[in-house]
Amino acid sequence: LKNPIENEYQRIVREHGNAVHGYTIKDVAQILKDTGRYRSVSMSRKGNAITLPNNRMCIPDVVCCQSNSIEYYEVECGNHHQSDFNDKCNKLKSITQNLYFVTQNKETAENRLKPQIEKWIASCGREQLRFAGVTVYLTSISDLAMQKWSYVFDMKNEQPICIENDTTNTEQEGET
């Protein structure tokens, strides 16, 4: 007896824990592909897995390769406990200076992710992150489609740079 073939929905739920998270990752990957800025865009958990010291793993949701750089995107639904979120950020910080977070809507970005990012920054120390050159970018999927970041935490200021209402010059903001 053959095992039934796994459909896309089943695979996405298995790989990403739930359908909302998985399909949001798929949408984010497509938006990033459509920008034409990347040689490749991957949402493969296996392909995106990075082994860290002490046999820890970092598996970014979307990995985008340019000719001389790699960008790692995390799709967040705002369900993580702070300690798990901090752990995820610390893993990302060990592989990149730019942490990119995308969430399904502006409310989740504003009410869930922004406070979690601020708590993570406080736990690390803003000065240490600034010295390490870390910048955190946060946006909703709709703003990502317009190539705009809702918040940029540059570690120079107490508050993130809010690009919510600025439609001029936003493309440069996301490129570093």
Residue 101, phi then psi, degrees to nearest 5: -120, 135
Contact 98, 135 (CB under 8 A): yes
The residue ranking higher by pLDDT, 168 or 22, is 22
Distances (CA, A) of 13 to 17, 141, 149: 5, 20, 28
Query: What digits encode the pLDDT tens for the residues 38-78?
Result: 999 999 999 999 999 988 999 999 999 999 999 999 999 98
Question: Which residues sit opposite 70 in a β-bridge?
Answer: 65
What is the side-by-side order of every strand in the sheet holding 151-153? Answer: 40-42, 62-65, 70-76, 98-103, 135-140, 151-153, 161-162
Q: Write out the two tokens for 88.
A: 């995820």
So what's the pLDDT on residue 164? 55
Distances (CA, A) of 87 to 58, 84, 116, 127, 146: 10, 5, 12, 19, 30
Residue 72, phi then psi, degrees to nearest 5: -115, 125
So what's the pLDDT on residue 174? 41
